[in-house]
């Protein structure tokens, strides 16, 4: 049994893991950089260890420092949160080589899903619908032009190791292919050290729909429906909701079952997210994330489960505490990401919080590591809080979000809070009628620099 967990992260997700551990009677160890000595996760954990200087590369990404912190404190397991080392297969291997438990998938699952060509191949062979396109990697421009002919333009060229929109280029016709192909290849090489690319039919107006899956590592797996995360800016999610306003119960059951069966077949362990583009009633697999995601609370809200608790259970070799038949959707949930950023450009805005007041009341959850007088360091991600609301239906969730935003106070810095009041006034947001391009278009039209 796990008696002590090291939390290999900071901010709100570190608190999320500490809270789950505490409810299970498990001790928690915080690790922190010198810049985070006063951070909330250090205060909230049972113990803490300083693991290095401010830059993430020298602290939260330092594998030797984190392994050493386990040895010093006697922590038997590591929960990586999201980002940092959460999808680093090499790290997982090292953790296991030290006789420690990684709370997450195996190194092999992380490796397979980290290479997008291999991930797509694997999912396709497991019966998951994928975007039409090249069968694996495309070696040169000549081969790329053949794919363009076969599937018809526009197509999108993607680096197999890509992420965050890097190494991705659209070609609208054969004339654009050469430069798009070479750019995608070069970006793959320079950003990820891998120049392999593949090609897909470019979907013009899809939604980003992701299915939450969960496996016990022994051939049993469930799905927990979808999240619609279409509202993004520069590949950063801003507003997420569950269930997806465009997805019917029948569609959910069908794609959910396909996903659950796929991950069951590979003996997947823990939480995973299977990302799809959804257009004209069809799902097209694009990627799988082998971590707990930022937006997991909307799923927790509508299913009434604690995903971190389940991660810890299966890491201990225990069964999941629910089966598919136990999982029923209750109402609607929305998350908005509060970032320390200045509108209209979303420029990072670290600094001292002079006043913080979290909203509360029925159906309101505020996941944040902020406190009065806290200074947000400039070294890390700008996410400072997630406001999650839950209502009996979507209109109630929207009204609750409006009400909760009115109670939220974050003074001393600029944040993305004003964006959400403006979004809530939009008919398309109220009706749920948006695609992956809606937010950027809206920002261009409404946040033009003045």
Question: Number of residues in contact with ligand MV4, rule: CB under 6 A?
Answer: 15
Stretch that binds ligand MV4, among 2-10, 12-20, 100-108, 202-210 (CB under 6 A): 202-210
Residue 241 near ligand MV4 by CB under 6 A: no
Among 12, 87, 200, 367, binds ligand MV4 (CB under 6 A): 200
Residue 203 near ligand MV4 by CB under 6 A: yes
Stretch that binds ligand MV4, among 35-43, 198-206, 210-218, 352-360 (CB under 6 A): 198-206
| Main-chain dihedrals φ then ψ at residue 174, nearest 5 degrees | -60, -35
Residue 205 near ligand MV4 by CB under 6 A: no
Among 334, 394, 388, 381, CA closest to 358: 388
CA atoms within 13 A on the CB side of 39: 29
Q: Which is nearer to ligand MV4, 167 or 297 (CB)?
A: 167
Among 7, 45, 156, 384, binds ligand MV4 (CB under 6 A): 156
Stretch that binds ligand MV4, among 51-59, 145-153, 194-202, 351-359 (CB under 6 A): 194-202
Give the Cα separation of 41 and 18 in Å (integer).
Answer: 8
| Main-chain dihedrals φ then ψ at residue 13, nearest 5 degrees | -70, -30
CA atoms within 13 A on the CB side of 96: 14
Among 139, 165, 219, 344, binds ligand MV4 (CB under 6 A): 165
Among 2, 20, 305, 436, binds ligand MV4 (CB under 6 A): 436
Rounded to the nearest 10°, the torsion over CA 59, 61, 63, 65 is 10
Residue 356 near ligand MV4 by CB under 6 A: no
Map residues 382-421 to x or -, x wherever contact with ligand MV4 holds by CB under 6 A: ----------------------------------------
Residue 208 near ligand MV4 by CB under 6 A: yes
Site for ligand MV4 in 250-269 (CB under 6 A): none
Residue 376 near ligand MV4 by CB under 6 A: no
Contact 237, 189 (CB under 8 A): no
Torsion sign across C-alpha atoms 182, 187, 190, 193: negative
Among 210, 287, 306, 310, binds ligand MV4 (CB under 6 A): 287
Q: Which is nearer to ligand MV4, 36 or 210 (CB)?
A: 210
Stretch that binds ligand MV4, among 98-106, 199-207, 247-255, 404-412 (CB under 6 A): 199-207
Among 45, 86, 51, 55, CA closest to 67: 51
Q: Which is nearer to ligand MV4, 275 or 306 (CB)?
A: 275
Q: Which is nearer to ligand MV4, 156 or 262 (CB)?
A: 156
Nearest distance from C-beta of residue 302 to ligand MV4, angstroms: 21
Q: Which is nearer to ligand MV4, 298 or 369 (CB)?
A: 298
Give the Cα separation of 359 and 363 in Å (integer).
Answer: 10
Catalytically annotated residues: 291
Q: Which residue has the tokens 């002079």?
A: 354
Contact 4, 27 (CB under 8 A): yes
Stretch that binds ligand MV4, among 32-40, 90-98, 196-204, 250-258 (CB under 6 A): 196-204
Residue by residue, DSSP assigns 65-102 as HHHHHHHHHT--EEE--SSTTTT-HHHHHHHHHTTPEE
Among 157, 159, 139, CA closest to 148: 157
Give the Cα separation of 14 and 11 in Å (integer).
Answer: 6
427's tokens: 């008919």
Stretch that binds ligand MV4, among 121-129, 200-208, 240-248, 313-321 (CB under 6 A): 200-208
Give the Cα separation of 423 and 342 in Å (integer).
Answer: 16
Nearest distance from C-beta of residue 50 to ligand MV4, angstroms: 35
Integer CA distances (angstroms), 274 to 165, 285, 409, 447, in order: 17, 7, 35, 32
Among 85, 222, 242, 286, binds ligand MV4 (CB under 6 A): 286
Residue 117 near ligand MV4 by CB under 6 A: no
Reported as type and span, the H/E element at residue 282 is strand 282-289
Residue 87 near ligand MV4 by CB under 6 A: no
Integer CA distances (angstroms), 192 to 23, 85, 159, 162, 164, in order: 39, 16, 9, 7, 12
Nearest distance from C-beta of residue 245 to ligand MV4, angstroms: 16
Nearest distance from C-beta of residue 194 to ligand MV4, angstroms: 16
Binding site for ligand MV4 (CB under 6 A): 131, 156, 165, 168, 200-203, 208, 232, 235, 277, 286-287, 436
């Amino acid at each position: 049994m796990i008696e002590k967990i090291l939390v290999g992260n900071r901010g709100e997700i570190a608190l999320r893991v500490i809270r789950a551990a505490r409810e299970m009677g498990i001790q928690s160890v915080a690790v922190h950089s010198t810049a985070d000595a006063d951070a909330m996760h250090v205060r909230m954990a049972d113990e803490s260890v300083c693991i290095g200087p401010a830059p993430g590369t020298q602290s939260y990404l330092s594998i030797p420092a984190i392994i050493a912190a386990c040895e010093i404190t006697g922590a038997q397991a590591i929960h990586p949160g999201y980002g940092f080392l959460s999808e680093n297969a090499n790290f997982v291997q090292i953790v296991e080589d030290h006789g420690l438990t990684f709370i997450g998938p195996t190194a092999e699952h992380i490796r397979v899903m980290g290479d997008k060509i291999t991930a797509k191949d694997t999912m396709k062979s497991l019966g998951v619908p994928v975007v039409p396109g090249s069968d694996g990697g495309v070696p040169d421009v000549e081969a790329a032009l053949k794919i363009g002919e076969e599937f018809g333009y526009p197509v999108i060229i993607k680096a197999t190791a890509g992420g965050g929109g890097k190494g991705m280029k659209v070609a609208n016709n054969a004339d654009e292919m050469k430069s798009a192909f070479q750019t995608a290849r070069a970006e793959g090489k320079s950003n990820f050290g891998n120049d392999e690319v593949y090609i897909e039919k470019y979907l013009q107006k899809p939604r980003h729909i992701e299915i939450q899956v969960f496996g016990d590592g022994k051939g049993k797996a469930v799905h927990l429906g979808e999240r619609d995360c279409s509202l993004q800016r520069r590949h950063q999610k801003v507003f997420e909701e569950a269930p997806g306003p465009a997805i019917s119960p029948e569609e959910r059951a069908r794609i959910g079952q396909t996903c659950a069966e796929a991950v069951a077949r590979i003996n997947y362990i823990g939480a995973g997210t299977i990302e799809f583009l959804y257009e004209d009633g069809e799902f097209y697999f694009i990627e799988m994330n082998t971590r707990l995601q930022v937006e997991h609370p909307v799923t927790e809200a509508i299913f009434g489960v604690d995903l971190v608790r389940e991660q810890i259970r299966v890491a201990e070799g225990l069964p999941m505490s629910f089966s598919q038949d136990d999982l029923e959707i209750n109402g609607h949930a929305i998350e908005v990401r509060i970032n320390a950023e200045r509108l209209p450009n979303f420029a990072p805005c670290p600094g001292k919080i002079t006043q913080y007041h979290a909203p509360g009341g029925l159906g309101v959850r505020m996941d944040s590591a902020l406190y009065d007088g806290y200074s947000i360091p400039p070294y890390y991600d700008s996410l400072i809080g997630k406001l999650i609301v839950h209502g009996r239906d979507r209109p109630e969730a929207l009204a609750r979000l409006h009400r909760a935003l009115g109670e939220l106070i974050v003074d001393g810095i600029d944040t993305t809070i004003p964006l959400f009041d403006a979004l809530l006034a939009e008919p398309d947001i109220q009706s749920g009628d948006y695609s992956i391009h809606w937010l950027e278009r809206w920002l261009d039209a409404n946040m033009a620099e003045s």
